[in-house]
Amino acid sequence: MAIEELTGRWDYFSLPSNILVGHDCYLERKDSFTRFRSSRSPGLILGNCVRVYTWTTFNVEPSGIVEVGDDSILVGAVFMCAERITIGKRVVISYHVTIADSDFHPIEAAARKLDAIANAPGGDLSKRPPLESRPVMIEDDVWIGIGAIILKGVHIGRGARISAGSVIARDVPAGARVAGNPAQIIHEAAN
């Protein structure tokens, strides 16, 4: 592997044409985009001055759209996107964070068995049961701590702080600090 592809010095114009990259972005590892398979146009929007580090991956289904606002820092954000994940401006996403807008498999056992067969090597992916997805929205100035997991349908309000290791399955109000699994509010917004 060329070292340039690990150190942000590769040609960002070699990305698929449905990926829009703003000015002064730093995209450290080219492989962050190898599981991007959105057929939407655009399927990924990175604002200006977005920094994307080694551990980040964009796993985007054909139907998915990911949008990241200006000046955000994605350290180790693992995006699992089937519909829409929106990240605001000046958001910090730390190491080992997963953000998913779908469970990616049915809850119901019999349907999940069909999904297992369709997903097996040599399986027919067109026979997958329909995915349930709900968009994830993370507002401006949110900080997401190390190892946090953000699940489908979650709205995180402006300036919220997600503590390390939190599992977020419900909305987080603006300015709140949450922690734990399942996450609890430990500080309300300062007025």
Partner 1 sequence: MTLPHSLPHDWYPAPLPSNVRIGEGSWLYSSFAFLHCRSTRQQAVRIGRSSGVYMGSFFDLGPNGEVQIGDFSTLVGVIICSDQKVIIGDYVFIAHEVVLADHFAAAPTSIESNSEDADSESSIKDAGIVIGENAWIGAGAIILSGARIGTGAIVGAATVVDFAVPDYAVVTGNPGRFMPRLATTVKESL
Distance CA 4, CA 16 (A): 18
Cβ 191 to partner 1 shortest distance, Å: 23
Positions in 52-81 near partner 1 (CB under 8 A): 53-54, 73, 75
Tokens representing 140 are 């401006």
Q: By CB under 8 A, name the one of 51, 89, 128, 152 that touches partner 1.
A: 51
Output the CA angle 16-17-21, nearest 5 degrees.
90
Question: How many helices and strands in the chain, by DSSP H and E?
Answer: 1, 19
**CB of 65 or CB of 172, closer to partner 1:** 172
d(CA 61, CA 80): 8
Beta bridge partners of 98: 78, 149
Nearer to partner 1, 127 or 170 (CB): 170
Q: 135-174 mask for partner 1 (x: CB under 8 A)? A: --------xxxxx-------------xxxxxx--------
Q: Which residues bind partner 1 (CB under 8 A)?
A: 3, 6-7, 51, 53-54, 73, 75, 92-96, 143-147, 161-166, 179-181
